[in-house]
A and B are shown apart, each in its own frame.
Chain A
């Protein structure tokens, strides 16, 4: 936990909107597309993150979905985005001995912030799978040391941090990597909603299109938090309760 350890936040790249065009190599674009593909096999499609309960109780409907997603992005999206960025910034550390204590502290902090066990476990499981999946993709001593931590039974590795670190190690510019990661998260939530609600492909894709400005606004907020060393706010009690109550639904499409 950076705050508890009293460590200053790690610096990020300069904030320059032109970086997107200038600094991303074609290979990096392709790597980012693969890492942020909604079909990346890390187990995201097995979790509803509490939404199944909200649908079962007839609170979340196709009509209320867009408003929900906008608010969800500004709360949960901001938290995930900030931790993605913190993972990304770990890549500036060149030695594993420096990186690992911060890695463990950030993961412990995110675990403590994810109060609903279902969401916490899902995030850890997806992080582990991601780190396992990329074994052999490229060689980096720091990645190897994090993978060793993650694959141990108690080695908590959250998805946002793992994805951020990977993008950082690959040198993919932070801003575009963060936006792509949030896009992947939003697409995963929409995919879960398509299985839970009478939501067709056209409507889902339209929503994903229309929410891009909101997503970019959250990306900017996350970068502001990272630059200022501020902690993000998050308040999603109903979604949290959805996760806590999910194991007790009579029928479930998603795992708890």
Chain B
């Protein structure tokens, strides 16, 4: 893979700079309840398509620890692959992290993590950790978000908000996998709560909304209305705006066939369903994480082949 250079953010206006500075100063105030300052991570990435080279570049970048991007790599089809690092090694109580991703018209971007996102046990006085994504995929652009699993440690309190807007002919592959905890240490659903919110819109119209609150001590995850015999949960959203309904019906049938093939009731089950428009969702539940982490790429590859005519290898660190 060829490395692509990152360029600094374009000049902000005076007002923007002042507003940003005030906001950060407010967020940097030492926390009176403990010795650790509240962390306000910030990552702003922009991707643009360069017609002269036929490649997508990481052009706009603003970052603030613990979030960091080191460089972008070129994918086999000229897209930009970026690894999002969390320098803390995970998310701590009181952390506030915001990621703003803008994929410009015609650009192709792939985001991944460097490892599982660990949600650490907070101190009692800490506010819940918050991570907020604001994503826009421009006309004819494609964003692929293929991170590792979310692992909530015992006692973790975490809220994740993801808001994705898709322009005309914009594409999206977005997966998420949630583990029950550090199972090898005997921690299974020992976290306090997780709130996972995701909204995907196209032209202001919602395509998919998830609003989960997992609160193992108050509402048993093992209820048949929730996970039943399974412990791990995964979802993949596949979208491309403007495609005719029949294309989605065909893709749904094909992916559902794969879901049937990969399902082993009691061990791992997969399902596929069309969204109200412009996409479909793949959902998987499993006893262990491996069938899900192995299955998600299978769905991604097949959907990518059908929607974009080409499969790509997974980001290198996963291979």
Contacts and interface: CB of A to CB of B under 8 A. Distances in A.
The answer to whether A and B belong to the same complex is yes
Interface of A: 1, 4, 54, 57, 59-60, 64, 67-68, 71-72, 74-76, 108-109, 111-113, 115-118, 120, 156, 231-241, 243-245, 247-248
B206 A248 contact: no
A210 to B, nearest CB: 17
Interface in B112-136: none
A75 B211 CA distance: 11
Interface string B259-279: 110010110011111111000
B273 A117 contact: yes
Contacts of B224: 54, 59-60, 64, 67-68, 71, 238-239
A64 B260 CA distance: 26
B283 A59 contact: no
A109 B210 CA distance: 11
Q: Chain A: interface secondary structure?
A: helix
Contact of B228 (A1, A4, A238): A238
A4 B204 contact: yes
B312 interface: no
Pick the 6 closest A-B CB pairs, nearest first: A244-B271, A71-B225, A112-B206, A71-B223, A233-B213, A117-B273
B103 interface: no
The range of chain B's interface size is: 35 or more
Nearest to B265: A57
Contact of A234 (B201, B212, B228): B212
Contacts of A60: 224
Contact of A235 (B226, B259, B263): B226
Given A115-B283, A120-B276, A231-B211, 8 more contacts: A59-B224, A71-B225, A108-B205, A112-B200, A112-B275, A235-B212, A240-B283, A248-B256
A112 B275 CA distance: 7
Interface of B: 195, 199-201, 204-214, 219-220, 223-230, 233, 256, 259-260, 263, 265-266, 269-276, 281, 283, 285
Nearest to A73: B225
Contacts of A67: 223-224
B284 to A, nearest CB: 8
B208 A241 contact: no
Contacts of B256: 244, 247-248
B164 to A, nearest CB: 12
A199 to B, nearest CB: 15
Nearest to B225: A71
A71 B227 contact: no
Contact of B260 (A74, A111, A234, A248): A248
B273 A243 contact: yes
B225 A245 contact: no
A28 to B, nearest CB: 33
A109 B228 contact: no
A235 B285 contact: no
Interface centre among B200, B228, B263, B274 (most CB of A within 10 A): B228
A245 B259 contact: yes
Contact of A115 (B199, B210, B214, B227): B210
B268 to A, nearest CB: 11
Contacts of A243: 271, 273
A241 B269 contact: yes
A59 B229 contact: yes
Interface centre among B225, B256, B266 (most CB of A within 10 A): B225
Contacts of A156: 276
A69 to B, nearest CB: 8
Contacts of B274: 117
B219 to A, nearest CB: 7
A59 B225 CA distance: 11
B206 A4 contact: yes
Contacts of B214: 235
A232 B211 CA distance: 8
21 contacts: A57-B265, A71-B226, A108-B276, A109-B206, A112-B206, A113-B211, A115-B210, A115-B283, A118-B273, A156-B276, A232-B211, A237-B227, A238-B228, A240-B283, A241-B269, A243-B271, A244-B272, A244-B283, A245-B259, A245-B263, A248-B260
Contacts of B230: 238
Contacts of A72: 225
Contacts of A247: 256
Contact of B227 (A4, A120, A238): A238
A236 to B, nearest CB: 5
Given A108-B276, A237-B283, A240-B283, A68 B225 contact: yes
Contact of A244 (B226, B227, B273): B273
A4 B204 CA distance: 7
Contacts of B219: 71, 74
Interface centre among A64, A76, A118, A248 (most CB of B within 10 A): A248
Given A4-B201, A115-B281, A109 B209 contact: yes
A27 B214 CA distance: 43
Contact of B213 (A1, A59, A235, A240): A235
